[in-house]
Amino acid sequence: MSRSDQQQIETESPGAGNELPGETPSLDGAPVDDPSVLPDRVPVPEVTFEGLLAMTPPESHALIQKAYDFARKHHEGQTRLSGEPYIHHPVAVAGYLAELHLDAASVAAGLLHDVLEDTTVRREQLDKEFPAPIGELVQGVTKIGKMNFRTTHDAQVENLRLMILAMAKDIRVVIIKLCDRLHNMKTLKYLPEEKRIAISQETMDIYAPLANRLGISRIKGEMEDLAMRWIYPEQYQKLTRHIATKKKERERIVQESIRHLSDYLKGSYPHLIINGRPKHFYSIFKKMREQNLPFEQIYDLTALRVLCETKTQCYAILGLIHAIWPPLPGRFKDYVATPKKNQYQSLHTTVMGLEGTIIEIQIRTKEMHTIAELGIAAHWNYKEKGVEVQKDERLTWLRQLSEWVTDVKESEGLLDALKQDVFADSVLCFTPNGDVIHLPAGATPIDFAYAIHTGVGERCTGAKVNNLMVTLRTQLHNGDVVEIITAPSGHPSPDWLQIAVTQRAKQKIKHWLKTLNLDEWIETGRRKLNRFLEEKNHRVPQAELDEGLDRILAEYKLPTRNDLLVEIGFGSISAQAAITRMNPAWAQVLMPERKRVSTRRRGTGPIIIQGMQGVPTKISSCCSPIPGDPIIGFITRGRGVTVHHANCKNVIRLRTDEEDAARLVPAQWNMDGTPHTVWIGVLSEDRTGLLNDITGIITKNNLFINRCTTNSDAAKHTAMLSFEVNVQSAAQLDAVLEEILRQRGMISAGRRKKPA
C-alpha cells in the first residue's frame, strides 16, 4: 500500500507518525480539488503479496501461499472497475488483516473472501482444500457481502440481525468484512456518483460505528474520512484547504513540541515514545458541526501522543506536562480509570503549549495503544487461545445482543434498537460504591437499575442522581452517581416500557408484566385489534379474526393465539402489522372515515383503580401526575382514592410504613385524551421578551394556559415564571419542557407545585 493510503492505519513508531490531516494531497493519492472528476483508470498501489508475507509469521506462509495461489487461479481474467487485476483487492484485504495481527486462518480467508461470490468455487471445495474454519469464515463474509442496508426497512432489520448473529458466531467474519469495505472505500472514485454517495452513507451509518464498537479505531477513522469525501464534498474540500494553509507552521510546532517534551521527560522516562497524532478530517468536521463553530475557532489541530510503560507513569507524566504547559479547564478526560465500553483507555488533556498553541495530548501505555488501535483484534490470538477467545468477557454485550435478536418477534422498532445497542454513544455512570455502569445515551435510572440486577430493577421505586431525588424519566449523563431506591412492595409499571431505553430493561419489564396479568394483556391485544379495525371501518367477526391470528402464528414464531395477543397488547407487535399480515384489505379504509365512538369505560373516570369499580378518585396536588406518568392509588378513609405519581416522595414515605403500604393500590390511566391540569415552573435569566417566548412555545404545542404568575429577582437577574396548563400526556409536556430548556438563558424548567 502507498504511504498516503495507509497514513491512518499504520502502527506508529518512534520518530514517525508526525503527519497531520491534510499533509498529503488526499487519502488515496487522487487530487482533492474536485472529487467528481475521476482520474485515469490506473491501478491503485497496494501491498504486494511479498509484502503480505513479510507481515506474517513464517509458520503461516505455507497456508497463506496456498490461499493466494487458489484465489489468483480462480480470479484469473477478472478486473475491477479501476482496471487493476482483481487479485489486488483480496491481497489488500489480507494485508489489513495482517496489520491487525489476526491469525493465519483470517489472513487466508481474506485472500479467499470473494471466491464463493465471484467465481465458480463452492463451499465444499474450500472445505476440501483448506482447514477449518477458513471455509466457514469465507461463507460468513459472503453472506454479509450480499446484505444491502439501503433497502426497505424490513430488509435492513433482517440484514442487521444476520450480521449480529454472524458476529456472535465468529467475530473474525465481521473484521474481514470491515477490511473488505475499507479497501472498497478507497476505490469509490471509479463508481457513479449516486453509488459513491450511497455506499459512503452506508459506511458512515453501519460499518464505521461497528468498527468503533469493536474498538478498531484505525479502521473507524479512515472509513469516516473516506465517506466524508463523498457525502460532504464541499465541506471536505474546504476543510482540506484550511488545514493545508498553515502546514509548515504546524509541522514546525509539532516537531518543536516533541523535542521540548522529550527533553523534559526522557531523563525520568527514557523509554517514552512521543509523536504527532493525525486528527481525522471527519472528527474535525463533526466538532465544527456539533458545536456550531467555524474552522478558525477549532484551535486544537496540533495533537501529540505519549506512550509509556505503566498506568502509574501515565498519571505522573500528566502532572509533569501540566507543570510546563497549563491545562485548559474542562478539557481533561480520564479513560484509564474508566475505560470506554469498547475497552479504549487513555488520558486526554488539552494544554496551552509552545507559542500559545493549543495542543491536545493523549497519554497511554503501549499496551493501551495497541488495544486502542486494534480493538478486539488485539485479543484475538487463536494460536494461543483457540476458540475460547470468542468467550472473551469483552464480547459479553455481543452474546447478549445475539440472544435478544434471536428472540425478537417483530421488526417494528428493531432497527433503531439494534443501532442503539451496537452503535450509539454511551454514558458512564457510577453506583454509590464507585462501580462503573455503561449505558447507551438517553438511558434513565430504570436502565441503570436493571443493569445492576434484575431484582433491583423490579423493586425500584425511585432514584437519586448526584444525591438529589429525580424522576425515573431523568436522562443520565457521564459521571452521574446514581442511587436506586427500592422497596419490597415496588414493582415495574407498564409506563416503564416508554421510559426504559435498553433492551435488557424492556425485556425484563415485559416479562414481569406478562406473568402478572396475562389475561389482561390478552384482552388488551384484542382491544387494540378491534380498535384498529374500527378506525378502518371494518367489522370482522370474532371467529374470522381468530382464524387470521392462527394463520400468522408461524410468521411470528409463537405457539398460541394468546401468546400473539399478549405481544400485541404489549406493543411488541403493532395491531397494524398483525392485521396487514392477516388480510391486507382489512388494513385499508373501507369507506369515508366516520367519527369513532369512544371506548372509555362508562363511569370509570380518568383513572382505573384495579378491583374498585366506581370509587371516587382525586389527583394528588403534591405531585400532580398526568397521563403517561406511572401512578399508584392511596386509599383515603372516607374520601376514595388519592392518585399519586408512583415516584412521589410521599409515596416513598408511605411504603416505609407497613399499615400505610397496605393502603396503596394499583392504578392506571383510562387513556381517552381528556386534558389534565399541571403547573410548570421556568427559571431563567431575566430578559426582554422572555414571557412572550415561553408562552409562544406552550401555545404552539397545543397546551392551553389557564393561569400564569411571574416573579423577578433583580439582585440575581433571574425570573421565575409559573404556568397552569392543560396537557393530554406526559410525553406532550416533556416535549414542551425540552423546547423551553433550549431557549437562551434558561436555567431550569419542570413541573412544580401550585404557587402559594
Q: What are the catalytic residues?
A: 117-118
Q: Using the structure block, give the residue that is written with the C-alpha cell 372515515.
A: 593
Query: Which DSSP symbol is given to 594?
Result: P
DSSP collapsed to 3 states, 28-79: CCCCCCCCCCCCCCCCCCCCCHHHHHHCCCHHHHHHHHHHHHHHHHHCCCCE
In contact, 104 and 64? CB cutoff 8 Å: yes
CA 585 to chain centre: 37
Q: Give the number of C-alpha atoms closer than 13 A to the C-alpha of residue 724, restricted to the C-beta side.
A: 11
Give buried/exposed letters for 266-289 (b at 16+ CB in 10 A, else e). Answer: eeebeebbbbbbbbbbbebbeebe
In contact, 477 and 448? CB cutoff 8 Å: no
User: In DSSP terms, which residues pair with 155 in a beta bridge?
Assistant: none
Q: Kindly state the cell numbers that stand for 280.
A: 481525522
CA distance 435 to 452: 10
CB count in 10 Å sphere of residue 160: 22
Cα angle for residues 30, 35, 36 (degrees, 5° grid):
130
Q: Kindly state the cell numbers that stand for 463.
A: 432514584
Distances (CA, A) of 692 to 677, 687, 697: 21, 11, 9
Q: Ramachandran region of residue 215, left (φ > 0), alpha (ψ -120 to 50) or beta?
A: left
Q: Using the structure block, give the residue that is written with the C-alpha cell 460499518.
A: 207
Amino acid at 387: V
User: In DSSP terms, which residues pair with 360 in a beta bridge?
Assistant: 303, 350
In contact, 392 and 151? CB cutoff 8 Å: no
**C-alpha dihedral over 132, 135, 136, 142, to 10 degrees?**
160
644 class by beta-carbon count within 10 Å (0-12 exposed, 13-18 middle, 19+ buried): buried
Q: Kindly state the cell numbers that stand for 641.
A: 382514592
DSSP collapsed to 3 states, 327-368: ECCCCCEECCCCCCCCCCCCEEEEEECHHHCEEEEEEEEHHH
Q: Three-class SS of residue 186?
A: coil
CA distance 673 to 311: 58
CA 150 to chain centre: 19
Total residue length of the chain: 756
CA 357 to chain centre: 34
Amino acid at 38: L
CA distance 113 to 94: 9
In contact, 44 and 186? CB cutoff 8 Å: yes
CA distance 206 to 220: 11
| Alpha helices (runs of H) in 119-205, residue ranges in sequence order | 123-129, 134-145, 153-169, 171-185, 193-202
Longest CA–CA separation in the chain, Å: 91
Q: Three-class SS of residue 477?
A: coil
CA 206 to chain centre: 11
CA end-to-end distance (rounded Å), the chain = 74
> Would you list the DSSP string of 478-492?
TT-BEEEEE-TT---
CB count in 10 Å sphere of residue 652: 17
